[in-house]
């Protein structure tokens, strides 16, 4: 059950995306997220879709596996759609009944927002699928290194992040185990209304918190035992170095952003209200 949550997990495979420098993937993901908000037209979405689909194909991560990552944000997605649909008042009224009014602008916003959100999640989860937590933090650390000049503890922040990421699958597994143990003792975690369900989660949440604290303190102890004292004077076994493919990836990304920007803005193509 809980194993099905895939968002934020690494998916081992051998693809060009897996081999890219993590800095490239971080910067490109960031650019990609921004690019999604640069246009509001069908041609723009067509370009973005082609780009996203080809990147997913390149990554060799099964499409169905990536789609599973959408499940946790389904609720958020629905709320966004509903709010945009009914609360936006612009353009022609398409439908009106009692207090519900749908305008052309509202429908447009709702659809665009939904697609953007889905693309956002798919794109960013693709980064975590193709990058191990270690690589990711290495990338972040190196990218933000200049900020050390203004006394920002970059290494420590990167370490905190990598530990947090590392703990996601561990805690998921732990949750699964505790849930099973309590179900075996007759706990009913599924039926009842929201309040009953929340109450039924206590036997799962208490042990989970305790185990999280226990693991955290064990890890701190283990790190201290190995003389960890922060980033000062620490060198890397595999320092990050850009290779040819990394520059190529930057090139592709810049090309995509430019393309999506100009095509999204200046290619006139409309279907109905979109």
Partner 1 sequence: MQIKVENLQYVYSQGTAYEKQALRDINFEIGGGEFIGIIGHTGSGKSTLIQHLNGLIKATSGKILVDGEDIYKDGYNFKNLRNKVGLVFQYPEHQLFEETVLKDVCFGPKNQGLTEEEALERAKAALALTGLAEEFYEASPFELSGGQKRRAAIAGVLAMEPEVLILDEPTAGLDPAGRDDILEQIAHLQRERQITVILVSHSMEDIAKYAQRLIVMNRGKLLFDDTPKKVFTHYRELEEIGLSAPQVTYIMHDLQERGFGVSAEATTVSEAAAEIIKALEKTHDS
For the chain, the residue count is 274
DSSP state of 41: S
What is the distance between the alpha carbons of residues 48 and 178, in angstroms, rounded to a whole number?
42
Instruction: Kindly state whether residue 156 participates in binding partner 1, applying the rule CB under 8 A.
Output: no
Q: CB of residue 188 vs partner 1: minimum separation in angstroms?
A: 7
Q: Work out whether 219 is an interface residue with partner 1 (CB under 8 A).
A: no
Q: What distances in angstroms separate CA 8 from CA 55, 84, 122, one per listed residue? A: 17, 27, 11
Q: Which residues touch 215 (CB under 8 Å, ≥6 apart)?
A: 167, 170
Is residue 65 a contact point for partner 1 (CB under 8 A)?
yes
Q: Is the separation of the CB atoms in 116 and 110 below 8 Å? A: no
The interface region with partner 1, picked from 115-123, 131-139, 177-185, 255-263 by CB under 8 A, is 177-185
If one asks whether residue 188 binds partner 1 (CB under 8 A), the answer comes out as: yes
DSSP state of 162: H
Binding residue (CB under 8 A) for partner 1 from 15, 80, 124, 211 = 211
Work out which of 45, 182, 260, 264 binds partner 1, going by CB under 8 A: 182
Smallest distance, partner 1 to C-beta of residue 220, A: 19
Q: Which of 3, 71, 197, 199 binds partner 1 (CB under 8 A)?
A: 3
Q: Is residue 91 within the footprint of partner 1 (CB under 8 A)?
A: no
Q: Does 93 bind partner 1 (CB under 8 A)?
A: no
Q: Measuring CA to CA, which residue among 171, 208, 231, 52 is closest to residue 223?
A: 231
Residue 178 interacts with partner 1 (CB under 8 A)?
Answer: yes
Q: How many residues bind partner 1 (CB under 8 A)?
A: 26
202 is an interface residue for partner 1 by CB under 8 A: yes
Q: Which tokens belong to 216? A: 């955290």
Closer to partner 1 by CB, 177 or 265: give it.
Answer: 177
H/E/C letters for each residue in 61-81?
A: CCHHHHHHCCHHHHHHHHHHH
Q: Which stretch binds partner 1 (CB under 8 A): 83-91, 106-114, 178-186, 235-243?
A: 178-186
- Alpha-carbon distance of 83 to 211, in angstroms, equals 39
């Amino acid at each position: 059950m809980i194993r099905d949550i895939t968002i934020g997990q690494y998916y081992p495979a051998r693809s060009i995306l897996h081999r890219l420098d993590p800095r490239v993937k971080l910067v490109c993901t960031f650019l990609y997220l921004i690019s999604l908000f640069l246009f509001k037209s069908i041609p723009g979405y067509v370009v973005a879709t082609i780009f996203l689909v080809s990147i997913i194909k390149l990554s060799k991560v099964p499409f169905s596996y990536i789609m599973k990552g959408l499940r946790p944000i389904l609720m958020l997605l629905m709320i966004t759609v509903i709010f945009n649909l009914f609360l936006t008042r612009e353009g022609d009224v398409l439908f009106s009944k009692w207090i519900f009014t749908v305008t052309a602008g509202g429908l447009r916003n709702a659809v665009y927002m939904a697609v953007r959100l889905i693309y956002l999640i798919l794109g960013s989860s693709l980064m975590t699928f193709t990058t191990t937590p270690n690589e990711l933090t290495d990338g972040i650390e190196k990218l933000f290194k200049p900020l050390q000049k203004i006394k920002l503890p970059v290494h420590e922040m990167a370490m905190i992040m990598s530990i947090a990421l590392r703990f996601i699958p561990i805690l998921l597994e732990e949750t699964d185990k505790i849930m099973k143990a309590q179900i075996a003792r007759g706990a009913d975690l599924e039926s009842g209304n929201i309040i009953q369900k929340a109450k039924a989660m206590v036997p799962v949440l208490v042990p989970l918190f305790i185990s999280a604290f226990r693991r955290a303190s064990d890890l701190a102890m283990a790190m201290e035992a190995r003389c960890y004292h922060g980033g000062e004077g620490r060198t890397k076994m595999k320092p990050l170095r850009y290779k040819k493919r990394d520059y190529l990836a930057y090139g592709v990304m810049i090309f995509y952003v430019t393309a999506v920007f100009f095509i999204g803005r200046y290619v006139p193509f409309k279907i109905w209200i979109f």
